[in-house]
């Protein structure tokens, strides 16, 4: 973790052009509203210029052509450059997870562990494989015959159940469970009989799973999370779902069993997707939408039931006018019945 950088060093880091003669030392990063004299902030475009002029930030990342007469770096994509600076401020992984195997960890003799760090009270089961450079936080459990790829980071209390597979550079945040049994039961005279869930979960390279994500193992076969996809906190993925590459699923999205999501699908918060549906490549689903039928590739849907977003907005606008329309209807009905309307009383 770098605790301080001069503005000129930041310019070299992000490939930008230093504006002005000053070269302040920067020790942190913050938004325009919250930044102080030691912080770097960014201006996404000229519309934020008034806010930037009154910000207390020590220096700014600005787009080409925006000169605010204060210490700044001109760069093509300020937010992307800001993200690169933030990476230099991140806590050193060796401090988060000290190298080596903690003495309280339990590693089965039949496991193959080449991890950079295995934290306190971790459990690695028989036949499990943990790749080189992986880091396991406290109380992580890797079930029997599970596989964790190279350079993965599994934060505290993550569970990877038996047989499940994680690719390389996967990040899994605290409390996530990969490979819990799918919700499979058969109704009978004695109630709900459990259907054995004997499949696995397969997570691709460069996936990031937020805190308390739950991904159910397949009844048979695989539940799949495609490479590069990002799942926010408390997302639930049911058994036999297949999620494509580069998807972004916001918090509390729930996907019922056997759905197929194409590449690049984006969902807002609290989206619900019914079972056995197909969501096409690049589809966008607005927050709290309830999806009960297939969504075409590239479509944007919203509402419950989820409809084309323009149609859904028209319906919402019409509903807001409904009370006034009902009032006028009752007045007309009163006149038709020969009685005075409410307005005439």
User: What is the per-residue pLDDT for 297?
Assistant: 97
Q: Rounded distance, CA 195 to CA 128, Å? A: 25
Task: Give the mean pLDDT of 180-186.
Answer: 95
pLDDT tens across 251-265, in order?
999 999 999 999 999
Select the highest-mean-pLDDT range: 58-72, 78-92, 170-184.
Answer: 170-184
User: What is the per-residue pLDDT for 13?
Assistant: 93
User: What is the per-residue pLDDT for 326?
Assistant: 83
Ramachandran angles phi, psi of 94, nearest 5°? -70, -25
* Domains with residue ranges and CATH for the chain: 5-90 (3.40.1390.10), 98-307 (2.160.10.10)
Using pLDDT thresholds of 50, 70 and 90, give the confidence band for residue 332: confident
User: What is the per-residue pLDDT for 313?
Assistant: 72
- Buried/exposed 180-217: b ≥16 CB within 10 Å, e otherwise: bbbebeeeeeeeeeeeebebbbbbbbbbbbbbbbbbbb
pLDDT tens across 102-114, in order?
999 999 999 999 9
pLDDT tens across 230-240, in order?
999 999 999 99
The most distant pair of C-alpha atoms in the chain lies apart, rounded to whole Å, by 91
Average pLDDT of the chain is 93
The CA radius of gyration of the chain, in Å to the nearest whole number, is 27
pLDDT tens across 93-103, in order?
999 999 999 99
Complete DSSP assignment for 54-123: H---SEEEE-TT---SSSEEE-S-HHHHHHHHHHHHSPPHHHHS-SEE-TT-EE-TT-EE--SEE-TT-E
Cα distances (angstroms) measured from residue 5 to each of 2, 23, 237, 255, 330 = 7, 10, 42, 44, 71
Per annotation, catalytic residue among 157, 173, 239, 276: 239
pLDDT tens across 135-178, in order?
999 999 999 999 999 999 999 999 999 999 999 999 999 999 99
Is 239 catalytic? The answer is: yes
Q: What is the pTM of this model?
A: 0.86
pLDDT at 337 over 90: no
pLDDT at 314 over 60: yes
Task: Give the mean pLDDT of 109-134.
Answer: 96
pLDDT tens across 241-293, in order?
999 999 999 999 999 999 999 999 999 999 999 999 999 999 999 999 999 99
């Amino acid at each position: 973790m770098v605790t301080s950088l001069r503005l000129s060093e930041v310019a070299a880091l992000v490939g930008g052009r230093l504006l002005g003669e000053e070269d302040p030392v920067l020790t942190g990063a913050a938004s325009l509203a919250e930044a102080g004299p030691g912080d770097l902030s960014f201006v996404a475009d000229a519309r934020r210029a008034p806010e930037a002029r009154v910000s207390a930030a020590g220096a700014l990342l600005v787009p080409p052509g925006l000169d605010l007469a204060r210490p700044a770096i001109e760069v093509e994509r300020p937010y992307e450059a800001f993200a690169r600076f933030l990476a230099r401020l991140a806590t050193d992984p060796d401090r988060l997870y000290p190298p080596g195997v903690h003495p309280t960890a339990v590693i089965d003799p039949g496991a193959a562990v080449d991890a950079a760090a295995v934290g306190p009270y971790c459990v690695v089961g028989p036949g499990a494989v943990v790749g080189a450079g992986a880091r396991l936080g406290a109380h992580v459990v890797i079930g029997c015959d599970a596989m964790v790829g190279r350079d993965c980071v599994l934060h505290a209390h993550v569970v990877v159940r038996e047989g499940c597979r994680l690719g390389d550079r996967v990040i899994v945040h605290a409390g996530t469970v990969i490979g819990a049994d799918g919700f499979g039961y058969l109704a009978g005279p004695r109630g709900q009989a459990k259907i054995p869930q004997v499949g696995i979960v397969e997570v691709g390279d460069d996936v990031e799973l937020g805190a308390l994500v739950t991904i159910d193992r397949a009844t048979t076969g695989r539940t799949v999370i495609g490479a590069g996809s990002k799942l926010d906190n408390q997302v639930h993925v049911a058994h036999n779902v297949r999620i494509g590459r580069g998807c972004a699923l916001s918090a509390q999205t729930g996907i019922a069993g056997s759905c197929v999501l194409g590449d690049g699908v984006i969902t807002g918060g609290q989206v619900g997707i019914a079972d056995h549906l197909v969501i096409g490549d690049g589809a966008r689903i607005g927050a709290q939408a309830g999806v009960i039928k297939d969504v075409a590739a590239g479509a944007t849907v919203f509402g419950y039931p989820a409809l084309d977003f323009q149609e859904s907005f028209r319906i919402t606008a019409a509903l807001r006018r409904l009370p006034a329309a009902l009032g006028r209807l009752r007045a007309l009905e009163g006149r038709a019945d020969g009685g005075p309307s409410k307005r005439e009383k």
